[in-house]
Amino acid sequence: MGKEPRFIMTERSYSHITRLFSALVMLLVFAVPLFAQKKTDVLLKFSMQDKTMRIVLESEEPFLTSTKITTSASQIKIEFPRQFGLITQKEPPFEAIATDKLLTINLKEHAEIKIFRLSSPARIVFDIQKEKKQPVEILSKVFVIDAGHGGYDYGITSNNMREKDISLSLAQDLDTILSKKGKKVFLTRKADQYMSLIERIRFVNQKTPDIFLSLHSSMSEDFVLYIAKFKSEGSNEMADQYSLSLRQKKYIGKSKVFAENIGNAIKEEFKKTVTYREMPLPVLNSAGAPAVFIEYPSAKSTIYDQPMRARLINAIINGFAAYSSTNVIAK
């Protein structure tokens, strides 16, 4: 019969086992607390009263006492001392993002936020009141609004919606709002009628406006704003034909500012990219006033019902006001 193999403990084997044992001990020392750490429950509640929304966070008092809070006009960040579990009773009218030790609350609008730390039970209370919007002041007095196309010239047609109709509706809405603010508004067309380019150009300059805006549809999903562009050599032949080619050159700097103000207001309202372009369009090059040609998104991607038109008109009005605040009235 053969002899049974024997395991002989050498010094090297002993050293390896000792190191392995030490490593296991260290792993347990550090890993056990991590696995044993329990998340603290945080109950989120909210209510609405008049124009104030109240958000309440309830949890253990020592846990809430160590909480750090930072706020901005539309966001609340709550940093807890350790991991937590968020409990909500119903879907809140705001975005609540819980990650590790941080709770971020994103509000839909800018607001005034007041914070209270209360006890019995321990809770943090946020009273949120919408910011009161200051009346929009527009210093410009005379406006010419050009509704593109008209009559047999439909413009772009998508989903049974015609560019000429959308542009006219927007122009009429602008007329209504600006007129209520005591402004003098001239529309190149007030109905579904065709107007030639020369008729539009003459109309604009006969009214000597403070601001000229031409409304058209884009073929894309984006907003595009155009200002005039002049050839480095020579001149614009069509504008020259009407002896108006030099009118816009005097205002081109103000037109750039006007376009930026309109674009910023649109970005604020729609959270979309706005494209700026320079193009030798006769209706712009010939305008004796700050002038912008705006293309709104195609009806393929946007439904121009009353709420949508109201948003766009509001953005344009805010752009007018922002332009006024720069004190670059073109008169």
Provide the residue type at 288 as one letter: G
| Mean pLDDT, rounded, of the chain | 85
Instruction: Quote the CA–CA distance of 96 and 12 in Å, as a whole number.
Output: 57
Whether the CB-CB separation of 260 and 277 falls below 8 Å is answered with no
Mean pLDDT of 7-34: 57
10 Å Cβ neighbour count for 171?
Answer: 23
Domain ranges of the chain: 40-130, 142-325
Q: What is the pLDDT of residue 330?
A: 39
Whether the CB-CB separation of 213 and 173 falls below 8 Å is answered with no
Residues 6+ apart with CB under 8 A from 67: 78, 79, 80, 81, 124
Q: What is the pLDDT of residue 131?
A: 67
Whether the CB-CB separation of 77 and 69 falls below 8 Å is answered with yes
Q: What is the pLDDT of residue 222?
A: 94
Q: What angle do CA 322, 148, 154 make, to 5 degrees?
A: 145
CA distances to 76, 290, 308 from 249, in Å? 48, 10, 34
User: Is 142-325 a CATH 3.40.630.40 domain?
Assistant: yes
Q: What is the pLDDT of residue 231?
A: 73
Q: What is the pLDDT of residue 214?
A: 98
Whether the CB-CB separation of 236 and 230 falls below 8 Å is answered with yes
pLDDT band at 112 (very low <50, low <70, confident <90, very high): confident
Q: Assign a CATH topology to domain 40-130.
A: Immunoglobulin-like (2.60.40)
Least confident among 25-39, 167-181, 201-215, 236-250: 25-39
pLDDT band at 133 (very low <50, low <70, confident <90, very high): low
Q: What is the pLDDT of residue 8?
A: 53
Instruction: Quote the CA–CA distance of 286 and 302 in Å, as a whole number.
Output: 31
pLDDT of 243 over the 50 cut? no
Instruction: Quote the CA–CA distance of 199 and 205 in Å, as a whole number.
Output: 10
Mean pLDDT of 71-82: 90
Instruction: Quote the CA–CA distance of 126 and 120 in Å, as a whole number.
Output: 17
Q: Is the pTM of this model over 0.85?
A: no
Please choose, from the candidates 127, 150, 164, the residue with its C-alpha nearest in 3D space to the C-alpha of residue 51: 127
CA distances to 56, 57, 219 from 45, in Å? 5, 6, 46
DSSP 250: G
Q: pLDDT > 70: what percent of the chain?
A: 81
Q: What is the pLDDT of residue 326?
A: 75
